[in-house]
Amino acid sequence: MTGPAAKTPTPQQQRMSDCNKQATGKKGDDRKTFMSSCLKGQTTAMAAPTKMTQQQKMTSCNADAKTKALKGADRKTFMSSCLKNAPATP
């Protein structure tokens, strides 16, 4: 059977799909840099350290905590888990 439903994705389409899934949670320049290196076929180990410094993680987590209006112990707990879950650089 031939038809649109029977087509398998090309290797480029499959790579795009895989990279898109791996880029979940990345935004802006981080996502752009990651997608570029991922689509070029570089491994995720090579693409993982995409400029997410400790300072950038702190800035991002601070903004999230401010948006959620967290204070005191709730903010401390949130910041701790946020900084641990943010993609780390080696």
Phi, psi at 71, each rounded to 5°: -140, 160
Q: What is the pLDDT of residues 13-29, one digit of tens each?
A: 888 888 888 888 888 88
- In a 13 Å sphere around the CA of 15, the CA atoms on its Cβ side amount to 14
pTM attached to this predicted model: 0.40
Q: What is the pLDDT of residues 46-83, one digit of tens each?
A: 444 455 678 888 888 888 888 999 999 999 998 888 88
